[in-house]
Structure 1
Amino acid sequence: MSDCIRTLRRTSEGIYKEKGSKFLSFAMPVSSETEIRQIIESFRKRFYDARHVCYAYVLGEEKNQYRAYDDGEPSGTAGRPILGQIHSYELTNVLIIVVRYFGGVLLGTGGLTHAYKQSATDALANNEISEEEIRQTMQLSFDYAQMPQVMAAIKAWHVTIQEQQFESTCHMVISIPRTESAAFLAKLQSVIRDISLLKKQ
């Protein structure tokens, strides 16, 4: 299993024209379906006069959250070719939106599929691919007396503290590179009272 994911560094744009129709494409990094819904809603408002706002996205380290949406175009002619380009570049946590302004001439299913594929490709070509380390998020509970051992381990590994609460029983939410998590936990096995692995939201 790879310990890095391939995603995009920023938002980029592309454009493709065919027989009067204009296809505006936008490729961007995303982190959740909630974020995606908000972005799509903003695009629908921004391009309220467009005939179609089609999109595809892939989420997750295993790329097992995805969707392709045709927005009224013939089934499989818009969302699927956009999704195909995300898969072709082996990307995840990525959303591509293609906005079509109809030019008055029907392109046919083959023409549409080609247009949406090229639009997605153009937006991706104007971006940069980033390889990001996969990190494991976990919650730790331990007695306050064990604080020195815990903090020493945190300093020894590439740990980021996301939340912390210090009382008689201390709680921390941390993230650590997945490749280092087993060794980190083995080091703290004798002092940690409870460990919960947390999934990304």
Structure 2
Amino acid sequence: MNSDLYYYTIEKPSVAEFKDKGSRFLAYAFPISNVEDFKKHLQELKKEHPKAVHHCFAYRLGLDGNNFRVSDDGEPNGTAGKPILNVIDSKQMTNVLVVVVRYFGGTLLGVPGLINAYKSATAMAFQVVPIIQKSVEINYELQFDYTRMNDVMVILKQCNCNIIKQENQLFSIVQMGVPKVRLEEVLSKLKDLHTVDVKRC
């Protein structure tokens, strides 16, 4: 598999629970495409679980390996965020967030116990959801006369382009993600329409 053309992520959100010595670890996994997605999911979970003692998380975005973040949220350093990220990385996934919500059960688990709990909860969340391969997309913006809408949409559909945003007035503006693997084909077909202005976002 060519890693700059495809990546792995999860198909939809999932949740799983791991218990140890009375503590409950609820792992929520989400497919995300940007940091705003992450913030929104984390806020929602904090509202949903206000009595939980920790909301630890890890996410990875993009393909360059540099866009990730981990948080132990008050757990001993390195016992929560990093083990969560390690599970994400062991499955070679990106554009994924996992938040593990912990309810303390009264018994301390110690560092190895915590690492195991966060790792196990995360792994369980991935077991109950399909992991899918997606095309790496490059974002473009199209501007064209409304009368060409049909021709443009046929090309985008044929080539599995992902329409992000669409505005139709006298001129239509479409923001789309083009699968990298079909980029040349898409650009050449759009060029053949002549009246379509194509620019990279």
Quote how far apart the aligned CAs of 1:164 are. Answer: 5.4
- How far apart are the structure 2 equivalents of 1:21 and 1:138? 48
SS of the equivalent of 1:34 reads helix
Q: Pick from 28, 43, 63: which aligns with 2:30?
A: 28
TM-score by length of 2: 0.81
- How far apart are the structure 2 equivalents of 1:160 and 1:51? 39
RMSD (Å) for aligned C-alpha atoms: 3.0
- How far apart are the structure 2 equivalents of 1:103 and 1:80? 22
Q: For residues 153 and 97 of structure 1, do their structure 2 counterparts lie closer, same or farther at Cα, with a shift above 3 Å needed?
A: closer
Q: Map 1:174-193 to 2 at 5 A.
A: 174-186=176-188, 188=191, 191=194
Gaps of 5+ in 2: none
Q: For residues 35 and 106 of structure 1, do their structure 2 counterparts lie closer, same or farther at Cα, with a shift above 3 Å needed?
A: same
Give the aligned partner of residue 154 of structure 1.
155
Q: For residues 152 and 49 of structure 1, do their structure 2 counterparts lie closer, same or farther at Cα, with a shift above 3 Å needed?
A: closer
Please list the CA deviations of residues 138-193 of structure 1 after superposition, one character each: whole Å capped at 9, or x if unmatched.
12456x6xx59x749837951466435575x8754343321221233345289478
TM-score by length of 1: 0.81
Quote how far apart the aligned CAs of 1:64 are. Answer: 3.1
- How far apart are the structure 2 equivalents of 1:101 and 1:69? 17
Q: Max radius of gyration: which structure?
A: 1
> Given the alignment of the two structures, is residue 13 of structure 1 paired with residue 23 of structure 2, yes or no?
no
Deviation larger for 125-134 or 68-77: 125-134
Quote how far apart the aligned CAs of 1:9 are. Answer: 1.4
- How far apart are the structure 2 equivalents of 1:171 and 1:96? 35
Q: For residues 87 and 164 of structure 1, do their structure 2 counterparts lie closer, same or farther at Cα, with a shift above 3 Å needed?
A: same
Give the aligned partner of residue 53 of structure 1.
55
Deviation larger for 85-94 or 155-164: 155-164
Quote how far apart the aligned CAs of 1:53 are. Answer: 1.0
SS of the equivalent of 2:141 reads strand
Q: Pick from 84, 103, 110: which aligns with 1:108?
A: 110
Gaps of 5+ in 1: none
- How far apart are the structure 2 equivalents of 1:59 and 1:124? 17
SS of the equivalent of 1:41 reads helix
Give the aligned partner of residue 68 of structure 1.
70
Give the aligned partner of residue 196 of structure 1.
199
Q: For residues 193 and 24 of structure 1, do their structure 2 counterparts lie closer, same or farther at Cα, with a shift above 3 Å needed?
A: closer
Matched length: 196
